[in-house]
Amino acid sequence: MVSQRLVKNAPLWSKMHEKKAPFFFSYEMTARCNNNCRHCYLNLPASDLRTAASELSVEEIDRISTEAAELGAVWCTLTGGEPLLRRDFEEIYLLLKRKGLLLAVFSNATLIDESHVRLFKKYPPRNFEVTVYGVTEETYESVTRRRGSYYEFHRGLDLLLTNCIPVTLKAMALRSNLHEHEAIAEFCRTQTRDFYRYDPMLNLRLDGNHERNKEIISERLTREEIIELERADPDRYGELTRDCDTFLSREPAHLDCDHLFHCHPGTAGFDLTHDGKFRLCSSVTAPGTTFDLRKGSLKEAWTEFVPRVRDMRSANSEYLENCRNCEMINLCSWCPANAYLETGALDSRIDYFCQVAHARAGLLKTGRSE
């Protein structure tokens, strides 16, 4: 494994950052979930009392969201785990609404009941996003590993749709549901029509759980399978071919630059964990890249901490001479956060992501994967 070697140079980025304000933030209301999905990078049991006790209180959310709104945030996404597990979900939802924030909710929909429908009809979210794991009970529950979840999903989704709650559907492309991928896509497009997306790139666990990571890796598709899915999807393939010049650069991506973070996290928004940790995005977990909002203010995190993280640099020649200058960087899911989750270092190559990027490049150049 390539060692992690980070150095701090002049804070050039912080001069750019000091004029920006957070436009949005994502709030992970809980890490607990009533499902136990095979591919999930986060979920803990719904009955996990220690995790429940660590979750931010309504008073803490009030303070943090007030600071966020004062700094300029206008959009908040409520995620989990499963956010509807929180018994005080409605109280927190209305609190954030009163701050003037536009709200989106990411949920598995299995816990939706009439009280949620009344709440969302009176105070609609901008979007309610639900993941579809399969179109048959067998496939759906092979992913969630919970009997009855397929029925609960359909009941909850029907309640949302029949009451005109704005819903979008998405999917994860997994080994366990690959045989139903086309049917899942058709179901999603039929139900919501205007929007559908899927993700074949599975992230490893934030807690580093070795056994759970083995399960996630076993659910990953091969590069050939990913390319076949993308080639068969007119919208996705059309976007790739239409923007080919953007995805494949003729020049090195970031010549003579040793910064680690070139992605957008920390430039327009941030992520808030269930226990009050501030992160540039939901995947950034390496030591030195999170800030405890129970011990400091959001303003301090945004104006002082983020510039320090964004100014982290690498002295790893293998990374600087290869990944950082790769013409396929925009086809790759590589980022410092994923590198840390996969390898334990922020500046290491991720072989699996690299293989997928090369296959995508081959598809764009010749119409077939390399």
Q: Is residue 370 part of a domain?
A: no
- The parent domain of residue 207 ranges over 17-243+264-312
Residues 6+ apart with CB under 8 A from 259: 13, 310, 311, 312, 313, 314
Written as six digits, the tokens of 200 are: 């074949």
Q: Is residue 248 part of a domain?
A: no
Q: Is residue 346 part of a domain?
A: no
Q: Is residue 291 part of a domain?
A: yes
User: pLDDT of the chain along its 370 residues, tens only?
Assistant: 333 334 333 344 444 444 477 899 999 999 999 999 999 999 999 999 999 999 999 999 999 999 999 999 999 999 999 999 999 999 999 999 999 999 999 999 999 999 999 999 999 999 999 999 999 999 999 999 999 999 999 999 999 999 999 999 999 999 999 999 999 999 999 988 667 889 999 999 999 999 999 999 999 999 999 999 998 888 777 777 776 656 555 554 555 688 888 888 888 999 999 999 999 999 999 999 999 999 999 999 999 999 999 999 999 998 888 888 888 877 888 899 999 999 999 999 999 999 999 998 888 877 655 5
Q: Is residue 139 part of a domain?
A: yes
Q: What is the domain count for the chain? A: 1
Q: Is residue 206 part of a domain?
A: yes
Written as six digits, the tokens of 82 are: 């499963």
Q: Is residue 196 part of a domain?
A: yes
| CATH at 273 | 3.20.20.70
Q: Is residue 338 part of a domain?
A: no
Q: Where are the alpha helices (DSSP H) in the chain?
A: 12-17, 49-54, 58-71, 89-98, 114-122, 137-144, 149-162, 181-192, 210-219, 223-232, 234-242, 244-247, 298-300, 306-310, 317-321, 336-343, 351-366
DSSP secondary structure code for residue 323 in this structure: G
